[in-house]
Amino acid sequence: MGAALVVVVLTLAISWSVAPVLSPTDRVLRATAAATVAALWLAATIGHVAALRFDSPVDIDAAAGGGGDSPRVAIANAVLRNTLEQAVLAIPAYLALAWVVEASGAMIPALAALFSVGRTLFWTNYARGATARAFGFALTFYSSLAALVITLMALVGRLM
């Protein structure tokens, strides 16, 4: 998880150095695009669960309330729950960062890219266990958390 934090910090440092000064409208448009990326990950995960639930008679029966999910549907449901949690954190973080931090023009797309890489690693490694999926989880979580912390720091700086 520490490696993911290092990746997030380095990515933010690089994107901060690029830091195009954009209008508030342009920053919010970038945040909207980033939020759309997070929402598309959620939609893809929902679609994956739906496809698996109707892939076999056992899964169809389970979806209709006839028993527990198969292991692959249970894994897909766990990935879905985690993706929902991550999207709920990321979307407002992108929007807040865009609204509050003038130099966030390059950070927002970089954070959305980290979100996507993190989701890909989490999803593809989920079945291999907690250790295998930890980096993907941390990359997704720390990128959103960083956006929130930067926003909070900027807000506190304005109040002082």
* Claim: this prediction has a pTM higher than 0.75: yes
- What domains lie within the chain, and their CATH numbers? 2-12+23-159 (1.20.120)
CA distance 155 to 160: 9
User: What share of the chain in percent tops pLDDT 90?
Assistant: 74
How does pLDDT run across 60-98, given as a tens digit for each residue?
666 666 566 778 888 999 999 999 999 999 999 999 999
pLDDT-derived band at 160 (thresholds 50, 70, 90) equals: confident
C-alpha of 81 from chain center = 12
